[in-house]
Chains A and B, each alone.
Chain A
């Protein structure tokens, strides 16, 4: 089969995939209703493994880190393709994980990031079998744990460090957005700055003792850091928390931030500057200012002209999906570190990401799925090497 014939069959593929609607959506609902905060993904992985077993995958297991792994053996089987979706969500186990299904969408916490990605992973073996699609290479399905936030890609890194497969390519599946095409990782440093008013603070200093004010000082100074235009660099101030009520001076305040840059050196420089800022503010205010950096990524990836990238764009173009090129700091970074050519792709469009009423559109899912299977077949056929 040529690449042209793979691409030529994509519209038929998309039409045929509608027959798997109930199975895929049922998997999505059932997975979505299992809470999976980072480091608490066991039950989701158990569900995933049950699906792998039901699909008759001869090899399926949970590794020491808690990742769920299934292997669909290829007809030749010398090399392998990795299909990965992270299992964790940003929502706590206490959140109400009820999914709501309407005619055109599914709503619920984590449905887009990344219950849909995991549901696709759970359904793919069934789809391939029903459509009698046989791959030459082994297809390794990985439901990765401890990916988000402080998890820092622990699951996929453990898997990549400890497996015996010879991976030729990898695809990472994210629920949203359809059209996403990530093939590079940017340099990144993720951390928290926590300001605390010391226990022995002199409370006679009326009004000026607040961890929030101290954190405000830190934020202003970070904001004043002069960032280069080239290589492109930014500091994302992503979250803030602190204090307990209107009338009580805040004793603790925390900023969550990320430094992102195309250059690893710039990331390191900005990181050092933030360290100096923390020390300076601590010494000036007498408050405790703690900097905790818990995640780093190195920039890298495959070039724009890489065959895998070209192949993905051809598939997307044929399916009328407009590719949106964006670097990633997710699992792709771990694959890049291992020099495995890899892409991150989205399945459908969604709204209100990381809110309790997060939603995904159902109709575009078939297109997103056709895209994944199309690229998978092309990769298997050797058109992405």
Chain B
């Protein structure tokens, strides 16, 4: 197993290390790279406008780091697409991409279809619900890919353990990370415990990696990426960048239950495929409780973590990109 502390020291960055955008753009151009930004959306009219404006102004007009900004939408019923278009993003309905495939609902579906729709050698994914959005959310993630050829997948985290004065502070992820994902990784994939926030929704990845991994369309997409990229390319393919604070709406615990249920399905499937378990037959109904007047009721929610295959297996994609 890799010396984990050594890996962390070598592959963990802070966005401020990449403040020199002029140098970053020059290096990108020297390597002949193209970069696409994908913003997956579902009813994000309150935050999408600001994200598009900031990225367009700072990372297209001022410093041409991004070659395209695309919003891929799951079918918002608010003005998400209209607002994004107003400020110059390319907007797509997820269902219109690869229309011969039966459409599926979920963020992972949008991320997967972005591989086919967008042209960049690198795709950077940023959630559209971040209220304190800043260009660092993009340049902090793409910079390790631009400067280091061996890095293939850069993950965001939102803490600043190095800036704490007077002692040590736990540098953790969210509740699902600390209660579910980190214990599971510690048990079965200890190298992946080096990733400080395995569930963060922001990451930048090389196309050659994206096209070779499957995409759960629901909650499990981040977990599956880590396991699959680690399996195919090893821990050395990863890097991670501290993007400081990320402000977004906090989810209630009951929603985290659904999320965990989806993640577990994805995890078990991969753990079995990689020989960690022998038999992982499981239900796909999550049972949560709700109280109505004097009655305790079970609320049954069907959560099936469907997956899209690696994009390289899709014929239209191979044709489009000459693979």
Contacts and interface: CB of A to CB of B under 8 A. Distances in A.
A33 B51 CA distance: 13
Interface string A6-34: 00000000000000011101110110010
Interface in B127-144: 131-132, 134
A255 to B, nearest CB: 37
Contacts of A100: 46-47, 49-50
A98 B58 contact: no
Nearest to A123: B57
A98 B131 contact: yes
A128 interface: no
A103 B57 contact: no
Q: Is the interface of A mostly helix, strand, loop or mixed?
A: helix
Q: Is the interface of B mostly helix, strand, loop or mixed?
A: helix
Interface string A98-134: 1111110000000000000000000000000000000
Which residue, of A26, A33, A102, has the highest number of chain B Cβ atoms within 10 A?
A: A26
B82 interface: yes
A226 to B, nearest CB: 52
Interface string B69-97: 00000000001001100111000000000
A103 B131 contact: no
B53 interface: yes
B50 A29 contact: yes
Contacts of A26: 53-54, 56-58
Interface residues of B, number: 23
> Which 7 residue pairs of A and B lie closest in terms of their CB atoms, listed nearest first?
A101-B49, A26-B57, A22-B57, A101-B50, A22-B56, A103-B86, A98-B131
Interface in B168-225: none
B132 A98 contact: yes
Contacts of B47: 100
B4 interface: no
Given A22-B61, A23-B61, A25-B57, A101 B83 contact: yes
Given A22-B60, A25-B53, 12 more contacts: A21-B87, A22-B56, A22-B61, A22-B87, A26-B54, A26-B56, A30-B134, A54-B62, A100-B46, A100-B47, A102-B83, A103-B86
Interface string B270-314: 000000000000000000000000000000000000000000000
Interface residues of A, number: 16
Nearest to A19: B61
A23 B50 contact: no
B79 A101 contact: no
27 contacts: A21-B87, A22-B56, A22-B88, A23-B61, A25-B53, A26-B53, A26-B54, A26-B58, A27-B57, A29-B50, A29-B53, A30-B134, A54-B62, A98-B131, A98-B132, A99-B50, A100-B47, A100-B50, A101-B50, A101-B53, A101-B87, A102-B45, A102-B49, A102-B83, A103-B49, A103-B82, A103-B83
A29 B51 CA distance: 10
Contacts of A99: 50
Contacts of B134: 30
Contacts of A30: 54, 134
Contacts of A25: 53, 57, 87
Interface string B30-59: 000000000000000111011001101110
B8 interface: no
B49 A98 contact: no
Given A103-B79, A103-B86, A23 B131 contact: no
